[in-house]
Amino acid sequence: MDDGTAETPAQTKARLVAESELKYARRATVLDHIIKLKVEAGEDDIDVWKWLQGVVQRLGEHGMSSEESVIENEVEQVFCVKRMDWHCGIKHELDFLDLQRLVDVDVFAPQGSRPMKRIHTSGNPATSRDAVKDLPRAFYNRAWITSLTQCQLEGLDIPEESFSWLQVAVAMV
């Protein structure tokens, strides 16, 4: 903490929850702005952005990863993203969304925390948060789902609806 004392477990949990809420709000705001601009311009990729907005909305605040900052090589501050073993791999889509704040500097004011390098590896610590409930099966990691007991699986309240993943391709200009 700023005063030199260590965080209590409750303070750590509160900080991580607040960071997840902020990350969700930031992503939702970016998507709202991009969709509004795409609609006004009549662009043809609006369905991809609306799909991505649906993904972020379904994940909600509790589906946002938490991070611990570290100094790598004492030069660059990076975030080691905590593993969410239940989470299917949507790093590409969420990183693309986070990148829009840097790419569209004429649209997004430079406020809030600056997007930073995020390291995703299997060696990163796992999050202590429970899996988000009531998501379509496609949002969960297949290997993780198959490792659950029937009781645990039922506890997730997975709806019967299907959810189709889009392949998001990005053309950098």
Q: What is the pLDDT of residues 96-148, one digit of tens each?
A: 777 776 666 555 555 555 555 566 566 677 777 788 899 999 889 899 999 99
CA-based nearest residue to 31, from 45, 50, 18: 50
* Per-residue confidence (pLDDT) for residue 134, from 0 to 100: 92
Q: Dihedral sign, CA of 116, 105, 103, 108?
A: positive
119 against 7, higher pLDDT:
7
What pTM was estimated for this model as a whole? 0.64
d(CA 56, CA 58): 5
- Asked if residue 81 has pLDDT above 90, the reply is no
Reported as a pLDDT band with limits 50, 70 and 90, residue 68 is low
d(CA 155, CA 33): 36
d(CA 55, CA 138): 11
